[in-house]
């Protein structure tokens, strides 16, 4: 087992407004090993972005709140850190790439300046020449000509912008990169370029990664471990082999696979999951997936399921509870 660099235990996060309380994350456990990529899969509202923001303590301060649980980075408790400590980690040890490159970049600063900013923030007293050298190196690594560093974001296309964002994130060679749907807004061929680049960089720098996506194809290509999230819980987790080659799955995972049109076989109809994710401000008492589950049983309505573990593969479902 490789060394664990990020360890999340029993994390609960809510968003509290004066109208309602949204239970975004409900008791999740996640572990990311050094140099490994963990894919966090789920649909809108599952709680993936909330989890990512919690790791960096970037939840909106007026509404977001961590109810309980721990997040440990190299054994250090993130949730208990003071501002100075967390600032030292953000950008330097843990970096984040968001979905929309359009809003991640400051339109009035050149691309070079923005990467330089990241470097200078975390390297006090660094000389300008060294900063320039590093900026050029980063741009080169993401496949952008160094001569373009004096251009502004609007002069770059979507894919290029995302590369700049990745360059900024990796400028300080963080140990963990959190990528929240980094290629969803990009064209398919550009997505291929960016994913190849991310994989390449990851191999070269040994960065660990949390890849948040709803696309199982991306998971197959880039991830070592996977966690499937639904209604704020991790309903299935394991290695990528467990997920794609395993014989037993959480019904939601089965549903996700069934919703994807296959490129190889031509079924007349897809088998989607009926219904919608439950309202996170009013979650049911038993299993959150019960209402949409084809394999539901009486117990699913009454009692919350427990984790059934088989080696590296965990499934949160009554179906597998008895056998383990």
Partner 1 sequence: MESVTAVQPGIQTFKKQSQAKEVWRRFRKSKGAVAGLLMLSVIVFLLVFADFIAPYALATQQDLAIKLQGPSFSHLLGTDAFGRDLFARIIHGGRTSLSIAVLATISSCLLGSALGAIAGYFGGRIDSLIMRTLDIFMSIPDILFTMAVVFALGAGFINLLLALTLAYFTNYVRLVRSQVLNLAELDYVEAARAGGSGSTRIIITHILPNAMGVIIVNTTLNVAKIILYESTLSFLGLGMPPPAPEWGLLLADAREYMRVAPYLMFFPAMAIVLCATSVNLIGDGLRDALDPHLKS
Partner 2 sequence: MSTIDTRTPLIEISNLRKLFKLRGGARLHAVDGINLKIYPKETVGVVGESGCGKSTLGRSVIRLIEPTSGEILYNGRNIMKLGGGKLRELRKDLQIIFQDPYSSLDPRKSVIEVIAEYMFIHRQFKTRAETYNRASHLMDLVGLARRYANSYPHELDGGRRQRVGIARALSLNPKFIVCDEPVSALDVSIQAQILNLLMDLEEELGLTYMFITHDMSVVKHISNKIMVMYLGKCVEMATSDELFANPQHPYTKALLSAIPVADLSTRDKDFVTLRGEVSNPINVKPGCRFAKRCDYCTEACTSADPEAIEVAPDHFVSCVLMRQEVKAI
Q: Which chain residues interact with partner 2 by CB under 8 A? A: 43-44, 157-160, 187-193, 195-196, 214-221, 240-241, 244-245, 255-263, 266, 268-274, 276
Select 37 or 114, whichever has its Cβ closest to partner 2: 37
Q: Where are the beta strands (DSSP E) in 17-170?
A: 21-33, 37-41, 64-73, 76-77, 94-97
| Distance (Å, whole) CA 62 – CA 54 | 14
Select 26 or 37, whichever has its Cβ closest to partner 2: 37
∠ CA 163-2-96, rounded to 5°: 25
Binding residues for partner 1 restricted to 14-73, rule: CB under 8 A: 17, 19
Select 8 or 186, whichever has its Cβ closest to partner 2: 186
**Binding marks (x or -) toward partner 1, 261..300, rule CB under 8 A?**
-------------xx-------------------------
Select 67 or 190, whichever has its Cβ closest to partner 2: 190
Tell me the closest approach of the beta carbon of residue 134 to partner 2, in angstroms: 25
Tell me the closest approach of the beta carbon of residue 17 to partner 1, in angstroms: 7
Evaluate whether 301 touches 286 at the Cβ level (below 8 Å).
yes
Element (H, E) at 199: helix 188-205
| Distance (Å, whole) CA 21 – CA 6 | 28
Which one of partner 2, partner 1, none interacts with residue 256, CB within 5 to 8 A by kind? partner 2
Backbone φ, ψ for residue 187 (5° rounding): -65, 155
3-class secondary structure, 25: strand
Select 259 or 312, whichever has its Cβ closest to partner 2: 259
| Distance (Å, whole) CA 72 – CA 179 | 19
Tell me the closest approach of the beta carbon of residue 4 to partner 1, in angstroms: 39
Residues binding partner 1 (CB under 8 A) = 17, 19, 274-275
């Amino acid at each position: 087992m490789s060394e664990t660099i990020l360890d999340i235990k029993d994390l609960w996060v809510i968003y509290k407004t004066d109208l309602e309380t949204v239970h975004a994350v409900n008791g999740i456990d996640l572990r990311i090993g050094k140099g490994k990529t963990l894919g966090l899969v789920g649909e809108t509202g599952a709680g993936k972005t909330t989890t990512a923001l919690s790791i960096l303590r970037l939840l909106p301060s007026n509404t977001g709140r961590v109810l309980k649980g721990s997040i440990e980075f190299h054994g250090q408790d993130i949730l208990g850190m003071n501002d100075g400590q967390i600032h030292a980690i953000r950008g330097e040890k843990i970096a984040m790439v968001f979905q929309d490159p359009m809003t991640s970049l400051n339109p009035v600063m050149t691309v070079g300046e923005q990467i330089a900013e990241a470097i200078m923030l975390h390297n006090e007293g660094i000389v300008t020449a060294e900063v320039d050298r590093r900026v050029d190196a980063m741009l080169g690594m993401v496949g952008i000509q160094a001569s373009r560093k004096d251009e502004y974001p609007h002069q770059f296309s979507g894919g290029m912008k995302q590369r700049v964002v990745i360059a900024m994130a990796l400028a300080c060679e963080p140990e963990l990169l959190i990528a929240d749907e980094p290629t969803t807004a990009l064209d398919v061929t550009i997505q291929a370029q960016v994913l190849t680049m991310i994989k390449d960089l990851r191999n070269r720098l040994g960065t660990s990664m949390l890849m948040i996506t709803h696309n199982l194809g991306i998971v197959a290509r880039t991830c070592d471990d996977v966690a499937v999230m639904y209604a704020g819980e991790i309903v299935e987790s394991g290695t990528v082999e467990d997920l794609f080659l395993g014989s037993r799955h959480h019904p939601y995972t089965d549903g996700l696979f069934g919703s994807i049109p296959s490129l190889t076989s031509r079924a007349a109809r897809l088998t989607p999951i009926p219904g919608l994710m439950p309202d996170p401000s009013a979650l049911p008492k038993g299993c959150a997936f019960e209402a949409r589950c084809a394999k539901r049983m009486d117990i699913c309505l009454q009692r919350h399921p427990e984790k059934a573990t088989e080696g590296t593969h965990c499934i949160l479902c009554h179906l597998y509870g008895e056998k383990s």
